[in-house]
């Protein structure tokens, strides 16, 4: 069964629930453990949706898709290559991605996000999916010119860590088979990315297992699976959408 979980603001209170058509069924407790449905239902229209989780960290993969790796002539890595997106970069669906004060080409990267459902440490690949709560859409925004500006140090965290540079949502979908998913990124109405998750070099199970050997993952943490061909720049005034069938559409303006 597929459920689509959302967080939203109700007056001065933050609530969560599941989508039921054009309505939201309100739950109480914790989304990740012991969520209890109530009889209260609210109309989706007009709700201020928030990022559907509050991660302690977001881990972003590099060189995890065969198509992009082959285009860039990158060797297949022996282990996952990743960085961490800083919490100041997290952004709600529908909110505005802000151009940083520095100059440089700002690029979009539509990605699938794996949402962890419970504390995960040194898990095996066979049991990794037991720790996955669901999946979300994300945009791993980057100032590309900063990455290799200094030849002595690749500035991944700075290039990807500006305020508002990691929108995700609008939902967390549970009950999906990630191998069947396709990521589509649309810039100002034009499809720029359209790639299958089945092309990943490291599967969802491998990513969760291998990263959990390095660091403890907590409920709500997100692993961005990396991106594929079609990454491009966006100019202020643009609208960028990341859509994954079965999950939904993440839409943000860039100003």
Q: Which residues contact 44 (CB under 8 A, 6 or more apart)?
A: 19, 22, 23, 24
- How is domain 1-50 classified at the CATH fold level? SH3 type barrels. (2.30.30)
pTM: 0.97
> Domain residue spans in the chain?
1-50, 51-254
Q: Residue 103: what pLDDT?
A: 87
Q: Residue 127: what pLDDT?
A: 98
- Asked if 252 and 109 touch (Cβ cutoff 8 Å), the reply is no
Q: Residue 1: what pLDDT?
A: 87
DSSP code per residue over the chain: --EEEEEEEETTEEEEEEEETTEEEEEES-SSS--EEEEEEEESTT-EEE-S---S-EEEEES-BHHHHHHTTPPPPSS-EEEEE-GGGEE-TTSEEPPPSS-S-EEE-EEEEEEE-S-B-S--GGGGGGGEEEEEEEE--EEGGGTTSBTTB--HHHHH-STT-EEEEEEEEES--GGG-EEEEEETTEEEEEEEGGGBSS-HHHHHHHHHHHS-B-TT-EEE----TT-EE--TTEEEEEEETTTEEEEEEE-
- Asked if 59 and 138 touch (Cβ cutoff 8 Å), the reply is no
CATH of 51-254, one of 3.30.230.10, 3.30.1330.10, 3.90.850.10, 3.40.50.720: 3.90.850.10
Q: Encode the chain (255 residues) as per-residue pLDDT tens digits.
A: 899 999 999 989 999 999 999 999 999 999 999 899 999 999 999 899 999 999 999 999 999 999 999 999 999 999 999 999 999 999 999 999 999 999 899 999 999 999 999 999 999 999 999 999 999 999 999 999 999 999 999 999 999 999 999 999 999 999 999 999 999 999 999 999 999 999 999 999 999 999 999 999 999 999 999 999 999 999 999 999 999 999 999 999 999
């Amino acid at each position: 069964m597929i459920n689509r979980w959302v967080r939203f603001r109700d007056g001065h209170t933050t609530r969560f629930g599941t989508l039921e058509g054009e309505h939201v069924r309100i739950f109480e407790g914790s989304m990740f453990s012991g969520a209890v449905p109530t009889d209260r239902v609210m109309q989706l229209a007009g709700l201020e949706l928030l990022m559907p989780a509050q991660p302690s960290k977001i881990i972003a993969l590099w060189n995890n898709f065969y198509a992009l790796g082959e285009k860039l002539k990158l060797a297949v890595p022996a282990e996952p290559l990743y960085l961490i997106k800083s919490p100041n970069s997290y952004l709600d669906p529908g909110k505005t991605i802000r151009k940083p004060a520095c100059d440089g080409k700002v690029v979009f990267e539509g990605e699938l996000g794996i949402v962890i459902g419970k504390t995960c440490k040194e898990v095996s690949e066979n049991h990794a999916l037991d720790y996955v709560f669901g999946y979300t859409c994300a945009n791993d925004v980057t100032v590309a010119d900063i990455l290799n500006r200094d030849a002595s140090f690749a500035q991944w965290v700075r290039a990807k860590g500006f305020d508002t540079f990691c929108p995700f949502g609008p939902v967390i979908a549970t009950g999906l088979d990630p191998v069947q998913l396709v990521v589509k990124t649309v810039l100002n109405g034009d499809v720029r990315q359209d790639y299958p998750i089945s092309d990943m070099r490291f599967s969802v199970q491998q990513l969760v297992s291998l990263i959990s050997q390095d660091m403890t993952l907590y409920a709500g943490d997100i692993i961005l699976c990396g991106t594929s061909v079609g990454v491009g720049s966006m100019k202020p005034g643009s609208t960028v959408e990341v859509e994954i069938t079965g999950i939904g559409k993440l839409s943000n303006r860039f100003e």
